[in-house]
């Protein structure tokens, strides 16, 4: 588990549990919960450094927001097993440099398990916050090539958890975004079609609200995706407390 600069506590709920900043250190009454699930299996080796750059820039850009004090971030990586890099942490306590050494790749892919971990953590922490008179909305980002070969959970179980998280009414809104990594420049048309189809089935089976394909090896595409993600976080955060669903950028 990554470094927390404030006291943390373990929440032993759901299949995996999670860590989070303790209530006395939470100085505002409403939060946007950002959950990142990052594929670090062997198949993602070519993208390791680009994923690190993407996450660091998301943190940098979000720290420039006037509502940065209303954001909490949790990061999970999907390898042979899900691993919590850090639990729900105040964004103002995050340092982009913290992510320099956490994206080593290798092993199998427990993608469904890691996605379930992220959904359950968001659902259970938002319930905890509501019980303690905090308001929350959330965004879940899953960044992967879509291959799973080691999960105990099925896509149907992940879908049920996502549907339940919405129905529980502990969150003002929940946006779940699948970002498919394709590396288009290095793929044949047949390989691209196969991988795109795999990702789209994952999107449909789980019920992600948004889906995008990203060639992480393309600098222009990476910059555009980073800007879109940061603008989406900003839109969701600004919608918090308004009673309205966030309007994400097109």
| CATH number, residue 207 | 3.40.50.410
> What was the pLDDT predicted at 1?
47
> What was the pLDDT predicted at 105?
72
Q: What are the E-state strand segments in the chain?
A: 8-11, 18-21, 30-39, 71-78, 82-90, 135-144, 174-181, 210-214
Is the CA virtual torsion 214, 219, 224, 227 positive or negative?
A: positive
| Residue 6 lies inside a defined structural domain of this protein | no
Q: What angle do CA 230, 119, 241 make, to 5 degrees?
A: 55
pLDDT surpassing 80 at residue 104: no
Q: What does the alpha-carbon distance between residue 122 and residue 138 come to, in Å, rounded to a whole number?
A: 7
| Residue 246 lies inside a defined structural domain of this protein | no
> What was the pLDDT predicted at 186?
59
| Residue 2 lies inside a defined structural domain of this protein | no
pLDDT surpassing 70 at residue 49: yes
Question: Which region among 18-22, 172-176, 192-196 has the lowest average model confidence (pLDDT)?
Answer: 192-196
Contact present, 17 and 10 (Cβ < 8 Å)? yes
| Residue 120 lies inside a defined structural domain of this protein | yes
Instruction: Say what percent of the chain tops pLDDT 90.
Output: 74
Can you give the pTM of this predicted structure? 0.95
Rg (Cα) of the chain, in Å, rounded?
Answer: 17
> What was the pLDDT predicted at 250?
64
**What integer is the mean pLDDT of 103-120?**
91
| Residue 232 lies inside a defined structural domain of this protein | yes
pLDDT tens digit sequence for 127-174: 999 999 999 999 999 999 998 999 999 999 999 999 999 999 999 999
**What integer is the mean pLDDT of 82-92?**
96
| Residue 98 lies inside a defined structural domain of this protein | yes
| Residue 132 lies inside a defined structural domain of this protein | yes
Burial of 103 by CB count in 10 Å (0-12 exposed, 13-18 middle, 19+ buried)? buried
**Domain interval for residue 154:** 15-22+29-239
Q: How many domains does the chain have?
A: 1
> What was the pLDDT predicted at 46?
82
Cα separations in angstroms, 115 against 45, 62, 247: 19, 23, 24
Phi/psi for 231 (5° steps) reads -65, -35
| Residue 8 lies inside a defined structural domain of this protein | no
**What integer is the mean pLDDT of 216-229?**
91
pLDDT tens digit sequence for 202-217: 999 999 999 999 988 8
Confidence of residue 184 (pLDDT cuts 50, 70, 90): low
């Amino acid at each position: 588990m990554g470094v927390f600069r404030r006291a943390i506590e373990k929440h032993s709920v759901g299949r995996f549990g999670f860590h989070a900043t303790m209530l006395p250190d939470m100085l505002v009454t409403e939060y946007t919960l950002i959950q990142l699930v990052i594929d670090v299996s062997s198949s993602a080796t070519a993208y390791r450094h680009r994923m690190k750059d993407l996450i660091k820039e998301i943190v940098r850009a979000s720290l420039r927001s006037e509502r940065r004090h209303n954001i909490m971030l949790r990061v999970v990586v999907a390898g042979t097993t899900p691993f919590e890099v850090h639990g729900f942490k105040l964004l103002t306590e995050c340092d982009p440099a913290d992510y320099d050494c956490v994206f080593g790749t290798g092993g199998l892919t427990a993608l469904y398990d890691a996605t379930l971990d992220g959904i359950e953590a968001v659902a259970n922490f938002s319930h905890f916050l509501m019980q303690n008179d905090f308001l929350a909305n959330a965004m879940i980002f899953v960044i992967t090539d879509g291959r799973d070969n080691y999960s105990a959970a099925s896509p149907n179980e992940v879908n049920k958890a996502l549907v339940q998280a919405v129905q529980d009414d502990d969150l003002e809104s929940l946006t779940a975004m699948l970002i498919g990594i394709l590396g288009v420049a290095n793929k044949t048309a047949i390989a691209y079609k196969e991988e795109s189809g795999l990702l789209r089935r994952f999107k449909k089976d789980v019920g992600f609200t948004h889906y995008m394909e990203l060639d992480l090896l393309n600098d222009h595409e990476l910059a555009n995706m980073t800007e879109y993600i940061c603008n989406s976080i900003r839109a969701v955060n600004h919608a918090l407390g308004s009673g309205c669903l966030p309007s994400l950028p097109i």
